[in-house]
Amino acid sequence: MIWLVLSITTSSFLYVIFKYFELFKINTLHAIIINYIVACITGFVSYGRMPNVEQITTANWLYYAIFLGALFIFIFNIMALTSQKNGLSVAAVAGKMSLVIPVIAGIWLYNESMGWMKIVGILLALVSVYLTSVKTKEGIQLDKRLLIFPIVLFLGSGIIDTTLKYAEKMHVPDGEEPLFSAMCFAMAFLIGIVVLIYEATQKRLLTLRSIMGGIALGIPNYFSIYFIIKTLKNGMESSVVYPINHVGTVLLTCLLGIILFKERLISKNYIGIAVAIMAIVMIAFAKA
């Protein structure tokens, strides 16, 4: 359980750091790209030694690392587009409600348990994600013409979680979690270099502020992935891990928003927090 708590904590820090990007006028795209190489280096340090090329090229998980690396940077940009085109609330709901995809995959592929208490807990988790993400009394307003962005974000986020579980279970040996995580981020950074070159041609150059922002983002970003893999490695079912992880992140992010940025919550948010706590208790108790 400690790994899951650590994953929730580091994932919540990411949202806080993104908020500071806005306050300090940091180029988010540039910082995200730098964050990937920082996360990669953090993974090598966590692994304890530099791997040789043959160890990486012959690893069973290499193709999964390439696939996930490409998805990381693609979904990050889709998340940004969704926030810009549809609003932050829509992006938050689409990203977090994607938990249904790894939950269904866990039950279907790995025959994970599914009692009535877990089902109710998962449904409550989805309700809580919506209620805690809504920022107006009118609810979330969705432009149907721009529906493609939240749909892609929902599917992409769910595919990332499902692929992480599959790679961890089938292809990543014990002890190689840091190396696998590092290579996922390395692949994302390689794609990001192409983006940085394009940005330079548009006279949007990398700045020291963006580099510092990327460093601040990269370390918790690495550990958010590393800790979730460790949680799955320790035998917790993915149909338990992902709902608690997503809902727990929403809860802690709300709390940090109130403490650090004096954010105000509406009545729906408070109801969402209460529902989220109920969901976590029911899912955890169902597992026990």
Summarize pLDDT for 101-137 with one digit per residue, the tens. 999 999 998 988 888 899 999 999 999 988 988 877 7
CA-nearest of 232, 243, 288 to 115 is 288
Least confident of 123-137, 162-176, 203-217: 123-137
Stretch 69-76: mean pLDDT, rounded? 91
Residue 287 has pLDDT above 60, yes or no: no
Predicted pLDDT of residue 135:
74
Stretch 173-188: mean pLDDT, rounded? 93
Predicted pLDDT of residue 218:
95
Residue 139 has pLDDT above 90, yes or no: no
- Where is pLDDT greater, at 83 or 252? 252
The tally of domains found in the chain comes to 1
- Is 133 in contact with 250 (CB distance < 8 Å)? yes
Least confident of 82-86, 115-119, 266-270: 82-86
Predicted pLDDT of residue 257:
87
Residue 48 has pLDDT above 60, yes or no: yes
Residue 256 has pLDDT above 60, yes or no: yes
**Tell me, what DSSP letter sits at residue 229?**
H
Residue 6 has pLDDT above 90, yes or no: yes
Residue 234 has pLDDT above 70, yes or no: yes
In the chain, the percentage of residues whose pLDDT exceeds 90 is 59
Mean pLDDT for all residues in the chain? 89
Residue 288 has pLDDT above 60, yes or no: no
Neighbouring residues of 222: CB distance < 8 A, sequence distance ≥ 6: 38, 39, 40, 42, 43, 46, 181, 182, 185
Stretch 48-77: mean pLDDT, rounded? 90
Q: How far apart are CA 32 and CA 73, in angstroms?
A: 8
- Domain holding 155, by residue range, is 2-287
CA-nearest of 16, 12, 36, 35 to 24 is 16
Q: Sorting pLDDT into bands at 50, 70 and 90, what band is 86? A: confident
Q: Say whether pTM exceeds 0.85.
A: yes
Stretch 205-221: mean pLDDT, rounded? 94
Q: Sorting pLDDT into bands at 50, 70 and 90, what band is 141? A: low
Q: How many CB atoms sit inside 10 A of residue 139's CB?
A: 12
Q: Sorting pLDDT into bands at 50, 70 and 90, what band is 68? A: very high
Q: Sorting pLDDT into bands at 50, 70 and 90, what band is 147? A: confident
